[in-house]
Amino acid sequence: MVCGANHKLGVDDRHIRNQVTEQKKVSKVVTIVNKQGLHARPIMQFVDLANRFQSQITITKGTQVVDGKSPMEIMLLEAICGTELTLTTVGADAEQALDALADLVARRFEAE
């Protein structure tokens, strides 16, 4: 397609548009409740679970936003016990991803 050229909406374009409109975005605030906070083991549990979903997953702490599928980025949050984080998921399985990840945090990453 050339910029500025007239383009009729075709079947392929409608398919792409439908995929975009089906993306759900959900968020939830969670509190890190395990005594040791987010260290390597719980971060890897989170990342392993996050990677089971197709949705984009982000974690926000204050103004810092990181990729929920990147252990190195999550480590940068320095989330100790009591830290509030906002989990945001975007995609067709966003609600399932958010529920599963929030549950993992609430269960203290099964550490205690």
Mean pLDDT of 65-76: 98
Is residue 2 domain-resident? no
Looking at residues 82-102, what average pLDDT do you find?
Answer: 97
Is pLDDT at 112 greater than 70 in this prediction? no
Answer yes or no: is 11 within a domain.
no
pTM of the model: 0.80
At 100, which CATH number? 3.30.1340.10
Q: How much is the average pLDDT of 88-105?
A: 97
Whole-number pLDDT of residue 23:
84
7 in active site: no
Is 99 part of a structural domain of the chain? yes
d(CA 94, CA 56): 8
CA dihedral 28, 32, 38, 41 (to 10 degrees): -90
Compute the CA torsion angle 19, 20, 22, 28 (nearest 10 deg): 140
Catalytic residue chosen out of the listed positions 28, 33, 37, 39: 39
